[in-house]
Amino acid sequence: YIYIYIYIYIYIYIYISIKLQYYELRFRASILPQILLVIISLSIFANIGVCLYATAIALSTVTPFGYEICIVIMGVVCTSYTAMGGMRAVVWTDLFQFIVMMVGILIYIIAGIIQAGGLGNVISIAEKGQRLEFFNMNPSLYERHNFYNTITFGAFFHAVLFSSSQINLQRISSVKTLEDAK
């Protein structure tokens, strides 16, 4: 999470809301931002498509509508509230989404513990299946999960995810102060 604080300071200090502005300032080139615009646009469109399609499949199973209608409805609703409420609406939607996800995870965990017959049974089942392996300090690169490759991969993964994502940049730029951005 060190990357978050470094990039928050950079983005707030130079007051940008689009990654291309940063690349333009950083590299002082005119062709690089145009190339990156195409790449970032394709990435965002693919991400939006996957998110809309996955949500539409879930909605179409619980509603009488087909997934095509669900995609149109979600697109209209999201575009409308963003156009009416701006970035503030996006921030509140992110907060609501976070709360719904955390409540869902909590319900899922509680239901799993109840179904397994208690927390003790969950732990014993995990031990029998060799799923409880905390702090495996074996430095082998050929092992799937150990302390070192998990920390290293996690650091690089989160650095990219939180520091250079256009979505996170817009979240940072939608608040007024550095404290709110943190």
Q: What is the mean pLDDT of residues 58-66?
A: 93
> 161, 173 in Cβ contact below 8 A?
no
pLDDT-based confidence at residue 134 (cuts at 50, 70, 90): confident
Taking the C-alpha atoms of residue 26 and residue 181, their distance in angstroms, rounded to an integer, is 22
pLDDT-based confidence at residue 181 (cuts at 50, 70, 90): low
Residue 20 has pLDDT above 80, yes or no: no
pLDDT-based confidence at residue 153 (cuts at 50, 70, 90): confident
Residue 28 has pLDDT above 80, yes or no: no
Percent of the chain with pLDDT over 90: 29
Structure confidence by residue, pLDDT tens digits, 91-132? 888 889 899 999 999 999 999 999 999 999 999 998 898 887
Supply the DSSP string of the chain, one letter for each residue.
-HHHHHHHHHHHHHT-SSHHHHHHHHH--SHHHHHHHHHHHHHHHHHHHHHHHHHHHHHHHHSSS-HHHHHHHHHHHHHHHHHHHHHHHHHHHHHHHHHHHHHHHHHHHHHHHHHHTSHHHHHHHHHHTT---TT-----TTSSS-HHHHHHHHHHHHHHHHHS-HHHHHHHHTSSSHHHH-
Domain range for 69: 2-181
- What pLDDT is recorded for position 182? 65
Taking the C-alpha atoms of residue 96 and residue 140, their distance in angstroms, rounded to an integer, is 42
Residue 53 has pLDDT above 90, yes or no: yes
Q: Which residue has the higher pLDDT, 167 or 100?
A: 100
Q: What is the mean pLDDT of residues 69-92?
A: 86
Residue 3 has pLDDT above 80, yes or no: no
Taking the C-alpha atoms of residue 101 and residue 82, their distance in angstroms, rounded to an integer, is 21
Structural domains counted in the chain: 1
Taking the C-alpha atoms of residue 121 and residue 86, their distance in angstroms, rounded to an integer, is 48
Count CA atoms closer than 13 A to 66's CA, side-chain side.
2
Residue 4 has pLDDT above 90, yes or no: no
Taking the C-alpha atoms of residue 52 and residue 46, their distance in angstroms, rounded to an integer, is 10
The answer to which of 2-11, 73-82, 86-95, 123-132 has the lowest mean pLDDT is 2-11
Read off the tokens for 38.
């195409």
Percent of the chain with pLDDT over 70: 96
Enter the pTM of the model.
Answer: 0.59
